[in-house]
Amino acid sequence: MKKILISFLTITFLISLTFASDTGGVFSPLILDAKSGGMGEAFTAISEGFSGLTYNPAGLTYIDEVTLGFTHLQIPQSFTRVEFIGGAINLGIFSLGAGLQALGVTNPDELLFPYYEGIAQISLAKKLNNKLSLGTSLRLYVAKLDTEEANGLGIDIGAIYEITPVLRLGAVWYNPISYIKWTTGLIETPGRQDLVLGVNYKLFLGEFPLNIAFDFSFYDKIYFYQRLHFGLETQIPKTPVIIRTGYNGEKNTLSFGVGLNTKNIEFNYAFLYTKDMSNQHIFSLSLKY
């Protein structure tokens, strides 16, 4: 009976992703970075360092050191967890990044059928001049659901333009070229297909630096608010402690985050509150050397 219940909840979760919006379905977009998750995923114009692997690949040009990172996400309602590991390096002529993502159930022995998703990616980025950076990511997909298997590919294209040192514009086109092919012959596209424009502005309120971000999706959604992302970030003066909050319209979540950023180590945590699904906890760790 327990196996049947777990299987039913997992199938229901997958179906809900498929029909919730045009970003649902197999390989639905998940939050793979606690830093961005704490800011409502309003990260298109930021995407610095490790975050460039999962958001705007153009952000990889802001890496000065070798960066390695890991993210853990758990979704209790669907008995699902996600692990992401990646790294990036600035080679001077261009920046190079790579990552692996694995999604599966937390207790596979109690599931009536095998289920997993895996993604391998490689990203390239180049700073064309002092203001404009371009980047692209190639992703290879594999999946298994019961007796069926699938594989495919997808490409993201991104850009970041610095208007001034405190004002940036960013844009990402997710999966303009993509496909997923199942052994049944069914061909579909990865869950995230979108064109997103972002703005990032930095200012100071006394001793407190304030990082403000806003993203807007140009693809149709069921509701207009699903196109919107807002994020705020500040650092407690004279400490490595960073505090974040945001709203993610696509996933209808309020987020709160905290980070510790030292010279070589960055740890971030995000809590996502939503009425649509269970609350989520995201942990990310990145190392620079």
Continuous H helices in the chain: 2-20, 34-38
pLDDT the model gives residue 92: 87
pLDDT the model gives residue 157: 96
As a whole number of angstroms, the distance between CA 114 and CA 119 comes to: 17
pLDDT-flagged residues of the chain (< 70): 1-29, 76-79, 106-113, 276-277
Torsion of CA 143, 119, 104, 80, to 10 degrees: -120
pLDDT the model gives residue 209: 94
pLDDT the model gives residue 79: 67
pLDDT the model gives residue 11: 39
Phi, psi of 214 (to 5 degrees): -145, 135
pLDDT the model gives residue 80: 74
As a whole number of angstroms, the distance between CA 174 and CA 205 comes to: 35
Left (φ > 0), alpha (ψ -120 to 50) or beta: where does 130 sit? alpha
- Burial category of 220 from C-beta neighbours within 10 Å (exposed 0-12, middle 13-18, buried 19 and up): exposed
Continuous H helices in 84-184: none
